[in-house]
Structure 1
Amino acid sequence: MRRLVSSLALLLATAACTTATSEPVVSTAIPEPMVSPILSGPEALDTLTYAEPQKARVTHVALDLGLDFAAQRVGGSATLSLLVQPGEETLVLDSNGLHIARVTDASGRALAYEVGENVEKGGKGAPLSIALDGARSIRIDYTAPADAAALQWLTPEQTSGKVNPFLFSQGQAILNRTWIPTQDSPGIRQTWEARITAPKPLDVVMSGVRQGEPEDLGDGRRVFRFVMDKPVPPYLIALAAGDIDFKAIGPRTGVWAEPSVLPRAYAEVADTEEMVVAAEELYGEYRWGRYDMIVLPPAFPYGGMENPVMTFLTPTFIAGDRSNNGLVAHELAHSWSGNLVTNAVWGDSWLNEGVTTYFENRIVEAVYGKQRAEQEAALMYANIVETLGEVGEDAPGTALSTEGEYELGSAIAYDKGAFFLRTVERIVGRERFDAWLQQWFDNHAFQPATSELFLEDMMENLVASDAEAERLTLREWIFEPGLPANVAKPDPAAFAEVDAAVGHYADHGMMPSGWSGWTAAEQIRFLDNLPAELSHDQLAALAAALGLSATGNNEILFLWLEMALENRYDPAVPQAEEFLASVGRAKFVRPLFGVLWGEGEWGRPIATRIYAKTRESYHSVTRAGVDRILDGE
């Protein structure tokens, strides 16, 4: 089935977390090493990497790095274990801005290398070609630049504690090549280990299992060690360092956060152990040992990132009522879809995000009930319809499998992908569908996948007849634009009361009487469906009656600010400025700057003034999006 499986075993001993503990530090017996297959075929060709894995590939990365907060640099060495086909003597890696000091083999013998031409578009960077001369393990001494796009260095003032600096990485999709020299492609899975030194009193966490207690070096620094013994796509190697504490949730779950944030973070994610149990009951064993989380400072550009054993989360999801912790369910679900089975190329990102969004909704149903799950599904469906209305039903980018650039957050990859699986489930029945999806995870565990492979597996292991295949329209769902006619639409009763309230407001200006008792999803549905044009008096009345300016839910606050700015409501500008200065989540920041910029002579001076103050506080992902808006792209 178009797979090339290696017979070479790694020689490095690694450790996995399998014991139940309330402590974040675990080390256990040596497991059998793994080498993941490489997919062949044109559909598995990753155009965003320079690597040639069919010739020479990285199977293991050993990092030995120091964190220099004064210079805002990461430096040290990366030792790579290689699988090289007979007759091949050149290894090609991905790099972007790395300062290479030297390359040697296992004995310390210098190896010739060349950094090729840099491609700035899309952040592809430059190829790093190394003449192996028989070497099957190499060491690269290097330093990552201060402006490495994957890394965000925060001053003490940008943290909650205001005393110590902070660092976190964000590697998806191809940013990790700015701080790690490796083959940075989701289809080239690698095991890894790391030795990280950091100044006291900072703690370090990574997306690998921490090995023992940190070692005090006696020079004001400590050493932290981590191992990931399972092959993962390179974008999942992640690091964070700062003044952080840990609190256990269950026997294999816990949360890290800055001390002042930890109580609220813990209260928000206290259902996580229950979610893990629900996920296992749906689709099989959780295979990563622990499931810990870290709630990062507000500069983190995404809602969450599914880094194995250490999900990274934005603090903006904390609402005080767990109404936004479908985010946790989503990142947990990635432990199966995305981390266990990964898209081989970014044009198939729906295999990660769409499958995960479906899985997320099933976890929400199991833990919080069918009504909440149906309401959240209805919001997803509305996102699809809105997107198709903006770009057109026939827009090529609305196919699940695309050859275009990967865009995180797409209503197509996430929501259309989820509704594809929801539709298949509706047609074949939940029992058959669940059995098929679990076998997909089991049979392709720790491997890359493509849309063609997914379709082939469905046809072989799920579809019962030609007639059923015709009803499912699988190829249309995956490879054609738009939304197929057989889509399993959400229950219209899910928001019946809310939709009636929207109508009453639009027709008579009547405020919803049940607002305070509504779920967050219901409040979002109401705000999202109000008339686009509202007078300043109407906006003032809405804010006063519904408490929009004082809400503790950032999803609702964002919708209020977006609506107010679209209608040039001056009283909302100070709050928008405060919001944009205090969060870095691209989901919020980019649209608000987009609204301001779109409001011409009223909004552009406001956007320019705010961005001049906030730009340096944003991660490169968020900055790049806002830069494009203000540059008129």
Structure 2
Amino acid sequence: MDLTNIPHPIDPHSFSQPAQARITHVDWELTVDFDNQKITGKGNYTLAHHAASEVILDVHGLTVQKVVTSAGQEVVFTLTPAKPFLGQGLVIPLPENTCRLTIFFETTPASAALQWLAPSQTAGKLHPFLFTQSQAILARTWLPCQDSPSVRFTYTARVKVPVHLLPLMSAENPEQKNATGEYFFQMEQPIPSYLLSLAVGDLAFAPVGERCGVYAEPVSLPQAAHEFAQAEEMLLAAEALYGPYLWGRYDLLVLPPSFPFGGMENPRLTFVTPTIIAGDRSLTSLIAHELAHSWSGNLVTNATWNDFWLNEGFTVYFERRIMEKLEGPAYAEMLHTLGYQDLLHTFEEMKGTPGDTRLRLSLENRDPDEGLTEIAYEKGNLFLCHLEQLVGRKKFDAFVSYYFRTFQFQSMDTARFVLFLEKELLNGNQELQEKANTQAWIYQPGLPPGAPAPRAALFEKVEAQLRLWQAGTPTAELQTGTWSSHEWLHFLRALPENISANQLEALDQACGFTESGNAELLAQWLLLAVKADYPPAAPALEEFLTHVGRRKFLVPLYTALLQTPAGTQKAQQIFQRARPNYHAVTAGTLAGLLKGR
């Protein structure tokens, strides 16, 4: 059976019908206008089809001005009725033998992928900044495209920006500004639309290896380059595991703190939040995660957002294998255990919607962002750990490598993956198939009986110190000198639910948590402070909620505030002030949380 030719399921989150006509290449010309906060452009689209009468693209929050064929004939396009979060289908008739179209368009204030930042919202405070976030279905809000992860295309872009700023894309990038403000980008490997990215700001570059470098605002660059100095080492470790890196360079861009995620795996240029810059490289497993996406996600891509676990489950597993190579098994054990804690917490939160704890989701008529949960990441990772334990690491590694080679630059859906798994790894072995329990892992809620339950040995030592603290040993006398941020995070998570403000004060005086420069620890500490009503942390909480846009941190903090009337009032006040600092992805989530409060 040739699994590469089995048709994919229809993507419920795209109007496009790629089986009839699909984009294969685009040449864009874009002008970035900071004064009016819009991108104006045109795209020359190359299509593949067999005598199709029309092609359909996705648009949302865009103004489409006109469409012209390569013969210079303007065609009359139509827009389908608008649907919530999906936008509209751009339906373009195709005159006979038409395989190229030029579409003229511009963004609007409703283009949710874009965040325009004033100088005051940047690290340098001197120049404005723009960045995009296309995942899951926001590429259609800044460029007409077939906005489905099952559609891949190559592209070029000519981008014009103010001369004092530097643009970067998920493509071959310049390393310094030029005198004209005009730049050319090329992406020779075919990518899906959610991996399209653009950032424009006062940016500088520093190499951290032969194939790796860091872009950041000049004031932040030295610290960023120090933090990510292991990028090349991570790249070499990844290649040793699962084969050559096929994207040329692997660079990082540090964005302003309003970026809604920890990172975004845009090919050749990972976007990262500054909240992972802790000064001690303690949070850089996130870089290993985004790098791993260069294989799982960017190389082999979920065909629809219902199959999101295929991107993230493999990536979490791969990330921790990279960190195990660099830092040892005990370190990777801590990452697995913290992830498992996150998964159990997510199961608890989703008790009312158990269907959403399946790996293969059903998101039709729902915003695909609702599927971007720890289920895809951590349950997916546990399933792969389970398979590795069944067949042994050597055999499982050979399977994963073969999977990436076989389906590189293609999309993968869950049903086809199961066929591949049964053919290439389980290999008709009835006993193995029963133990693998694939149907339960993928299509049933929760965790099957006998699922791996990671428990880090180093955390047992943390728990021993916690018991001493609970018995009255002063914090300063605990044996914490060798603890990493992961051990401290486990300590904070393991504190009793009914911890008092006085106990938090004693911890704070000994450890300085309220002043921590580690965003992971600070976010966990502020959550404890909100629940215990610890007043000394109130200014740090307001500062954090106002300036950090990372959704992972903000949702738990706002949720905790909403548990009391006073906290609800505070949350509403902070959100009104902070909203201009949040990307639309974060703002939308928090607005939904606060709605009706």
Deviation of the 1:90 alpha carbon: 1.0
Conserved? CA contact 2:168–2:174, under 8 Å:
no
Q: For 1:139, what is the secondary structure of its paired residue?
A: strand
CA RMSD of aligned residues (A): 1.8
Partners in 2 of 1:582 and 1:389 — Cα distance? 29
Conserved? CA contact 1:298–1:583, under 8 Å:
yes
Conserved? CA contact 2:309–2:359, under 8 Å:
yes
Cα deviation, 1:102-159, whole Å, max 9, x if unaligned, reads: 1000122101101121112xx2001110111122110111101133100100011111
- Distance of aligned partners of 1:139 and 1:231 in 2 relative to their CA distance in 1, 3 Å threshold: same
User: Which amino acid letter does the alignment assign opposite residue 46 of structure 1?
Assistant: D
Cα deviation, 1:359-411, whole Å, max 9, x if unaligned, reads: 00000000111111011111111122222233339811111111135336512
Percent same amino acid at aligned positions?
41
Out of 36, 40, 48, the position equivalent to 2:7 is: 40
Corresponding residue of 1:537: 502
Partners in 1 of 2:204 and 2:176 — Cα distance? 14
Show the 5 A alignment for 1:453-492: 453-464=416-427, 465-492=429-456
Note if 1:423 corresponds to 2:389.
no
Q: For 1:623, what is the secondary structure of its paired residue?
A: helix
Corresponding residue of 1:17: none
Show the 5 A alignment for 1:508-527: 508=472, 511=475, 513-527=478-492
Q: For 1:349, what is the secondary structure of its paired residue?
A: helix
- Distance of aligned partners of 1:509 and 1:632 in 2 relative to their CA distance in 1, 3 Å threshold: farther
Out of 80, 102, 112, the position equivalent to 2:45 is: 80
- Distance of aligned partners of 1:2 and 1:95 in 2 relative to their CA distance in 1, 3 Å threshold: farther
Corresponding residue of 1:192: 155
- Distance of aligned partners of 1:358 and 1:80 in 2 relative to their CA distance in 1, 3 Å threshold: same
Note if 1:91 corresponds to 2:50.
no
Corresponding residue of 2:302: 343
Deviation of the 1:631 alpha carbon: 0.1
Q: For 2:82, what is the secondary structure of its paired residue?
A: coil
Note if 1:309 corresponds to 2:268.
yes
Corresponding residue of 2:232: 273
Partners in 2 of 1:585 and 1:213 — Cα distance? 28
Partners in 2 of 1:57 and 1:507 — Cα distance? 66
Cα deviation, 1:62-87, whole Å, max 9, x if unaligned, reads: 1101000000000110111101123x
Show the 5 A alignment for 1:332-411: 332-392=291-351, 395-404=354-363, 405=366, 406=368, 407=370, 409-411=372-374
Out of 100, 124, 134, the position equivalent to 1:137 is: 100
Conserved? CA contact 2:61–2:109, under 8 Å:
no
Q: For 1:199, what is the secondary structure of its paired residue?
A: coil
Corresponding residue of 2:574: 610
Out of 23, 30, 33, the position equivalent to 1:68 is: 33
Conserved? CA contact 2:176–2:204, under 8 Å:
no
Partners in 2 of 1:257 and 1:117 — Cα distance? 41
- Distance of aligned partners of 1:522 and 1:211 in 2 relative to their CA distance in 1, 3 Å threshold: closer
Cα deviation, 1:402-432, whole Å, max 9, x if unaligned, reads: 1135336512100111111111111100000
Partners in 2 of 1:64 and 1:2 — Cα distance? 39
Q: For 2:208, what is the secondary structure of its paired residue?
A: strand
Partners in 1 of 2:348 and 2:47 — Cα distance? 48
Conserved? CA contact 2:334–2:456, under 8 Å:
no
Corresponding residue of 1:588: 553
For structure 2, the residue ranges without an aligned partner over 5 or more in a row are none
Q: For 1:255, what is the secondary structure of its paired residue?
A: strand
Conserved? CA contact 2:307–2:413, under 8 Å:
yes
Partners in 2 of 1:609 and 1:515 — Cα distance? 38
User: Which amino acid letter does the alignment assign opposite residue 267 of structure 1?
Assistant: H
User: Which amino acid letter does the alignment assign opposite residue 337 of structure 2?
Assistant: A
User: Which amino acid letter does the alignment assign opposite residue 477 of structure 1?
Assistant: W
Corresponding residue of 1:26: none
Deviation of the 1:587 alpha carbon: 1.1
Corresponding residue of 2:109: 146
Partners in 2 of 1:284 and 1:131 — Cα distance? 43
Q: For 2:75, what is the secondary structure of its paired residue?
A: coil
Show the 5 A alignment for 1:110-121: 110-120=74-84
Corresponding residue of 1:452: 415
Corresponding residue of 2:286: 327
Conserved? CA contact 1:96–1:124, under 8 Å:
yes
More moved, 171-180 vs 386-395 = 386-395
- Distance of aligned partners of 1:81 and 1:421 in 2 relative to their CA distance in 1, 3 Å threshold: same
Conserved? CA contact 1:506–1:531, under 8 Å:
no
Note if 1:241 corresponds to 2:200.
yes
Conserved? CA contact 1:201–1:243, under 8 Å:
yes
Q: For 1:462, what is the secondary structure of its paired residue?
A: helix
User: Which amino acid letter does the alignment assign opposite residue 86 of structure 2?
Assistant: K
Q: For 1:167, what is the secondary structure of its paired residue?
A: strand
Note if 1:624 corresponds to 2:588.
yes
Q: For 1:403, what is the secondary structure of its paired residue?
A: coil
TM-score normalised by length of structure 2: 0.96
Provide the aligned length of Structure 1 versus Structure 2.
Answer: 590
Out of 386, 397, 400, the position equivalent to 1:434 is: 397
Q: For 1:531, what is the secondary structure of its paired residue?
A: coil
For structure 1, the residue ranges without an aligned partner over 5 or more in a row are 6-38
Partners in 1 of 2:323 and 2:128 — Cα distance? 36
Q: For 1:60, what is the secondary structure of its paired residue?
A: strand
User: Which amino acid letter does the alignment assign opposite residue 40 of structure 1?
Assistant: P
Cα deviation, 1:140-194, whole Å, max 9, x if unaligned, reads: 1110113310010001111111111100000000001000101000011111111
- Distance of aligned partners of 1:3 and 1:517 in 2 relative to their CA distance in 1, 3 Å threshold: closer
- Distance of aligned partners of 1:539 and 1:201 in 2 relative to their CA distance in 1, 3 Å threshold: same
Partners in 2 of 1:393 and 1:154 — Cα distance? 38
User: Which amino acid letter does the alignment assign opposite residue 200 of structure 1?
Assistant: V
Partners in 2 of 1:602 and 1:2 — Cα distance? 61
Cα deviation, 1:528-567, whole Å, max 9, x if unaligned, reads: 1111222221111121122211211100000010110112
More moved, 400-409 vs 576-585 = 400-409
Partners in 1 of 2:116 and 2:336 — Cα distance? 37
User: Which amino acid letter does the alignment assign opposite residue 497 of structure 1?
Assistant: K
Deviation of the 1:598 alpha carbon: 2.0
Conserved? CA contact 1:214–1:225, under 8 Å:
no
Q: For 2:74, what is the secondary structure of its paired residue?
A: coil
Partners in 2 of 1:112 and 1:215 — Cα distance? 39
Q: For 1:517, what is the secondary structure of its paired residue?
A: coil
Partners in 2 of 1:212 and 1:552 — Cα distance? 29
Partners in 2 of 1:4 and 1:158 — Cα distance? 46
Partners in 1 of 2:396 and 2:352 — Cα distance? 28
- Distance of aligned partners of 1:454 and 1:535 in 2 relative to their CA distance in 1, 3 Å threshold: same
Partners in 2 of 1:632 and 1:397 — Cα distance? 24
User: Which amino acid letter does the alignment assign opposite residue 380 of structure 2?
Assistant: G
Partners in 1 of 2:474 and 2:412 — Cα distance? 51
Partners in 1 of 2:577 and 2:246 — Cα distance? 44
Deviation of the 1:571 alpha carbon: 2.1
Corresponding residue of 1:50: 15
Partners in 1 of 2:125 and 2:176 — Cα distance? 26
